[in-house]
Structure 1
Amino acid sequence: MPAAFGIGAKTRQNDLDIAFQFSFFTGTSSGENGVAGYGAAGNNTLNIRQAFLSFGDASWGTIKAGRDLGVFGSDAILSDMTLLGVGVGGPAGGSSTLGRIGSGYIYADWKGQIQYASPIFNGFQVTGAVVENFRPGSAYNKDNLGYEAKATYDFAANDVTGRVWVSGITQKSEGTNNYTSRGFDVGAKASYAGASVVGYYYDGEGLDGQTVLGGLFNANGQKSKDSGGYVQATFAVPTIGTKLGASWGVSNSKAANGTSFDIENESWIVGAYHPLTKSLNLVAEYTQQEIKNNAATGSAVKKTENDTISLGAILFF
């Protein structure tokens, strides 16, 4: 993840819980200075991913307005063990690694939105948002809003805790091509005595950006057929606290015309995450990734393989 510094505050006034949050992100990589497309800053710039206010009450719910993580696919990325590591983004460079983005789920991204989250009823909650249009390029207008929604159920029974969720997304794109992106996902996670498992699946049209950056919403600029998911298992070693994990995931994206591209982005990841202190974690990961374009012909690249070993540390304070 990029380095981040957050500023927020909350209080209660006139029977309302009100709050705000600003979070400033910047990468730690020096990038590729001197390479076309990279400036003197090495592609390391300040990115304000969160800037929102919220107000509400436990009796009727919460309204959020501003920029924050999208609703669709948010539980998939927040359940990913590689958030504390590198995942499939090792060879890509840039200011941030990718985790499983594009090889198991679509990036929820940071979106301008107005969101409503209901009260929690016996573990059940629904969330809906009207979001800013994510167009695939300047040849498309931003007149159409996007719509995202999610339902979650949190449970706890006999020392087993977990969550089940479903979410959906729809957005019209008008420009070079006119089409509607739409999709749904379903996922579940459960934990017991230091062990945790996650299962996730998504399906839809016009979702993925495998030809631009895997997992980037709507970047292909067409009504591609997209699907994928991931499974993950982790175990925290008693007394020591080291979390050991393994996961497999894949994302598939096929062109609307059936011939331009047919991409399969598959990866295996194993990792170890050790809490040296309550704030400092040491990280070790190995990733094996294979990207195939089944529609490639002639001299076009048909398969790319990436093997990544990463070692590092992450600090929360």
Structure 2
Amino acid sequence: MIDNNKIPTAYNKTVFRKVPIAAAISLLALGVAPPVMAEVALETEDGWKVGFNGHIPVFAVVGDYDKPADEDSFNITTGFNPATLQTNLYAPRQNGIQVSGHFQMNADFAVGDAALNFRSRVAEIAVAGDFGTVNIGKGFGIYGTPAIGDNGSALGVGLIGSPDSVAATAGRIGNGYFYANFNPRVMYTSNSFGGLQFKVGIFTPTKLSAADDPSGDAEYNLPRFEGNLVYSTDGFSLWTSAFTQDVDSRTGVFDSYTMSGIDFGGSVSLGGLGVRGNYAMTSGTGNGVYAARFDEQEADASQWYVETTYDIGSTTLGVSYGEGEDDIGTGENDTDLTMIFARYAVTDALTLMVEAQAYGTQTSAGDYNAFIVGSQLTF
């Protein structure tokens, strides 16, 4: 643990002392097993605690792109998870209840002033006790997790938006899983019952864009509902998740419809060998992130992936393959992404990474091949 127990009294009259605090809030929300990390942690004499943790990933990408123009490129960018600073505040435990607040700021790799690329993904209150945990505010969703915890893209790059991308990359969004995204919500997480745990939540509904609904006729009188069920034991996990959201028309300009989705997945590890897979289906939305559709409400989409990894000491070797299919428009929207990757933990804080990709698509985005080297500081 990195600590600082020499805070000047001019800033706070309370004496601070060393305290370890659980870290990796954001990675755990993704269903990712966090690497060993420290947290800058402080505690006041009356029991208030504050901690900071996060990560800084940096990748150099050499790519060969077919569309929209035949282009070779070199770019230094962030990965699927952008540079992140997580702040965690813990109130004194009272009446068997632990109340905490969690704030997350994320930075992309835009050239020059980063004001437009510095944003918040998480701002929430967590209330935990014998009843489980209630999260109130903006945070990670439920549908699509923990499928997003694959080793290849969650800790690497995955799908690259463009040769000049500076924002967070897309991982396996649309080529393996549907992205849960960060949304305002009220969410309940149960305690574990012999390895079985569930989450349910109500979310701010996704709305039609102004282009799709110029008259503002759409209404959303119900929240989006999401939930998942996960069973985990040592070296084995199974999960399923689902969501549903109604999109209504006040005057009948369009037929009211329901967005929905369901997925199934699992992982198993034996010694250094790990295998992970997921299959997802959605209707009335895209194969990437929540998007209400005005003219093709019944369009279906699906995504799946399978991944194999092998740990040799401090090194992880892996290969994964996934596909996506979306019926919107011409229906010629099939994509596939192959990834080969390696991770080496130089220290508990520093990881070196190598990744090779081949992406195929029938869309205007075009195929590409990329070779990537990078590193990540985790604290």
TM class, shorter-length = 0.7 to 0.9
Are the equivalent residues in 1 in contact too, given 2:325–2:333 (CA < 8 A)? Answer: yes
Correspondence for 1:247: 320
Residues in 2 aligned to 1:286 and 1:219: alpha-carbon distance in whole angstroms? 33
TM-score by length of 1: 0.84
1:308 Cα shift?
1.2
TM-score by length of 2: 0.71
Are the equivalent residues in 2 in contact too, given 1:20–1:54 (CA < 8 A)? Answer: yes
Correspondence for 1:36: none
For residues 86-130 of structure 1, give each alpha carbon's deviation from its aligned partner in whole angstroms, at most 9, with x where no partner exists: 111263614111111121111110010000111111000111000
Aligned amino acid, residue 9 of structure 1: L
Correspondence for 2:361: 291
Change in CA separation of 1:144 and 1:268 when aligned onto 2, cut-off 3 Å:
same
Aligned identity (percent) is 25
Residues in 2 aligned to 1:144 and 1:265: alpha-carbon distance in whole angstroms? 33
Are the equivalent residues in 2 in contact too, given 1:80–1:99 (CA < 8 A)? Answer: no
Residues in 2 aligned to 1:85 and 1:220: alpha-carbon distance in whole angstroms? 31
1:261 Cα shift?
3.4
Among candidates 302, 306, 309, match of residue 368 of structure 2: 306
Correspondence for 2:131: 60
1:44 Cα shift?
4.4
Root mean square deviation of aligned Cα = 2.0
For residues 210-267 of structure 1, give each alpha carbon's deviation from its aligned partner in whole angstroms, at most 9, with x where no partner exists: xxxxx122255433211121000111113xx111110000111102xxx543311111
Residues in 1 aligned to 2:233 and 2:197: alpha-carbon distance in whole angstroms? 12
Q: Structure 2, unaligned stretches of length 5 or more?
A: 1-80
Residues in 2 aligned to 1:199 and 1:279: alpha-carbon distance in whole angstroms? 28
1:148 Cα shift?
0.2
Correspondence for 1:128: 200
Q: Structure 1, unaligned stretches of length 5 or more?
A: 31-39, 210-214, 294-300
1:20 and 2:106 correspond:
no
Are the equivalent residues in 2 in contact too, given 1:250–1:266 (CA < 8 A)? Answer: yes
Residues in 1 aligned to 2:261 and 2:133: alpha-carbon distance in whole angstroms? 25
Are the equivalent residues in 1 in contact too, given 2:133–2:189 (CA < 8 A)? Answer: yes
Correspondence for 1:271: 341
1:193 Cα shift?
1.4
Aligned amino acid, residue 346 of structure 2: L
- Give 1:104-123 correspondences, 5 Å limit: 104-123=176-195
Aligned positions, number: 285
Residues in 2 aligned to 1:232 and 1:44: alpha-carbon distance in whole angstroms? 35
Correspondence for 2:224: 146
- Give 1:1-317 correspondences, 5 Å limit: 1-10=81-90, 11-30=92-111, 41=113, 44-57=116-129, 59-89=130-160, 91=162, 93-138=165-210, 139=213, 140-156=218-234, 161-174=235-248, 177=254, 178-208=256-286, 215-218=288-291, 220-221=293-294, 222-238=297-313, 241-255=314-328, 260-293=330-363, 301=364, 304-317=366-379
Q: Give secondary structure in 2 for the equivalent of 1:262.
A: coil
- When Rg is computed on C-alpha atoms for both structures, the one with the higher figure is 2
Are the equivalent residues in 2 in contact too, given 1:28–1:44 (CA < 8 A)? Answer: no
42-51 or 261-270: bigger deviation: 42-51
